Amino acid sequence: MLPALFLFMNFDAASADWAVLGACLALAVATLLFIFYIQPDASDLAPHRTKLDQLLERRDTIYDNLRDLRFEYRSGKYSEGDFEAMKTALENEAALVLAEIDQVTEAQVRRPRGTRPESSQ
């Protein structure tokens, strides 16, 4: 009876070893597939835009809209009142964006080395 019990325990240990080996093999295959076959998303490769980049792009868009508005007004698409209202709205928006650009660039300005801030006397 003892040899039969020993064979039974040995069989369970051998099958457990094969299960661990199979799990390791499956993990290795999954890792290789992840590394070599999964392609990164295009947004992962795109450079990140700073707040200043976004503001400059917005400013350029507003200027383009103003230019298009003037062209369409001259071609007779808008009345004088409509043109003035839309122009004023775009100019106000441009002023806000320019103010934000000034704030962002002032925060990025550094003092040159060796200069001291002005002291109040």
Residue pLDDT, tens place only, 85-116:
999 999 999 999 999 999 999 877 654 555 55
Q: Answer yes or no: are the C-beta atoms of 97 and 51 closer than 8 Å.
A: no
Q: Answer yes or no: are the C-beta atoms of 78 and 86 closer than 8 Å.
A: yes
Distance of CA 76 to the CA centre of its chain: 42
- Give the pLDDT of residue 12: 64
- Give the pLDDT of residue 1: 46
Give me 86's structure tokens: 């839309």
Please list the ranges in the chain whose pLDDT falls under 50: 1-2, 4-7, 111, 121
